[in-house]
Amino acid sequence: MTTYTSSWIRAYTNIALIKYWGKADEALKLPKNNSISLTLDGFYTDTLVQFDSRFTADTLTIDGQEQRGAALKKAKIILDLVREIADIDLKAKITSLNYVPTAAGLASSASGLAALAGAASNALELKLSDAELSRLARRGSGSASRSIFGGFVEWEKGDSDVTSVAKQLDSASWDIGMLFIILDSRQKAVSSSEGMSRTVATSVFYPAWLETIEWDLADMRQAITDQNIQQVGEIAERNALKMHGTNLGANPPFTYWSADSLRAMEQVRQLRQEGYTVYFTMDAGPNVKLIGTSQELKEIKERLSKYYDPAQLILAQPGPGLTVLPE
């Protein structure tokens, strides 16, 4: 009988300030462009992986629910890779808990696949470096490569499985936070994978996205070095709008925006007119995420509470990278 002792591993979610939008290699999940994100403390996934010769199949339980289909298939990508590295063929039991506020509808794939990469590697005592863990997490979900690290993180697109990894840019130990406006928790009509592949294949605006991405990346790196929240916010907002613009140029065109998203964006512009240094970003869904200092975001949360339920407004601070939980 072969058993390994394993620990619970925690990974926090991240939000991109410069978006990952488009794959150069679908199977390896190599992106078309570098992306820059902020790892947050508010939302995370805890995962335990156990390999045991008594198991007859790989199993995955998320929040007590046994998963089959797409979630299990993604998890098996990571399991197969660690089995190959360790040169074993034991089956695994994955137990995962998502700490995302109820009905928040936030993608858990970044924290989920990063925690799985960490936990699977921990279970087999692989002693992978952070770069190797980032590479492993990437194979599950592109954005998960960034959740291995805390603070500001850049995922280098690279040109091979080995070189496409994330690294920390800055620990974000200065005053920057996010306020999530949760507008809809339903499953999105166009998944991010489908959205990005349709955009790469058909959008007349996609070449412009690639032509201008290096400027956004360089400007964002500088803004982070300068700890300039206004610059970080301005660049993140324009990059998000540009990403969403590429979707409108796809065939058939699509958008992740709802009427409520537009209203929230307008509220942010109004707050700026009143003197707040606040900006927004959006991902593959209708929720709007505000970027600002913790004090201003606290005031803004208060101000917006006349339009939204308390559960729709969630504050988050910069968070750490992959963490081994105590026994």
Q: Which residues lie near ligand 2P0 (CB under 6 A)?
A: 16, 19-21, 29, 35, 107, 109, 141-143, 192-193, 283-284
Give the integer Cα–Cα distance in Å for 232 and 127: 35
Rounded to the nearest whole angstrom, what is the least distance from the CB of residue 171 to ligand 2P0 in the complex? 20
Task: Give the shortest CB-312-to-ligand 2P0 separation in angstroms.
Answer: 20
Report, in Å, the least distance between residue 193 CB and ligand 2P0.
4
CB closer to ligand 2P0, 19 vs 83? 19
The 8-class DSSP code of residue 285 comes to S
Residue 3 burial class via C-beta count within 10 angstroms: exposed 0-12, middle 13-18, buried 19 and up: exposed
**Under 8 Å between Cβ of 23 and 302:** no
We find the least distance from the C-beta atom of residue 283 to ligand 2P0, in angstroms, to be 4
C-alpha distances out from residue 295 to 122, 182, 265, 281, 309, Å: 38, 20, 20, 19, 20
DSSP alpha helix (H) spans, the chain: 69-86, 109-123, 130-140, 192-202, 206-225, 229-248, 259-273, 294-304
Q: Which residue in 269, 248, 268 sits closest to 257, CA to CA?
A: 248
Q: What is the DSSP letter of 24?
A: E
Closest-by-Cβ residue to ligand 2P0 is: 142
Provide the minimum distance between the beta carbon of 275 and ligand 2P0 in the complex, in angstroms, as a whole number: 29
**Residue 20 or 51 having the CB closest to ligand 2P0:** 20
d(CA 58, CA 90) in angstroms, rounded, equals: 9
Q: Which is nearer to ligand 2P0, 109 or 134 (CB)?
A: 109
CB of 125 to ligand 2P0, least distance (A): 27
Which one, 35 or 121, has the nearer CB to ligand 2P0? 35
User: The tokens of 313 are what?
Assistant: 């407004």
Residue 83 CB, nearest distance to ligand 2P0 (Å)? 21
In the complex, what is the shortest distance from the CB of residue 38 to ligand 2P0, in angstroms, rounded to a whole number?
11
Cα 1 from Cα 313, distance rounded (Å): 50
- CB-wise, 193 or 231, nearer to ligand 2P0? 193
User: Which residue number, 8 or 209, has a Cβ lying nearer to ligand 2P0?
Assistant: 209
Indicate the SS3 state at residue 37.
strand
Q: How far does CA 224 lie from the centroid of its chain? A: 19
318 preceded by cis ω (within 30°)? no
Nearer to ligand 2P0, 265 or 271 (CB): 265
When the beta carbons of 107 and 120 are compared against ligand 2P0, the nearer one is 107
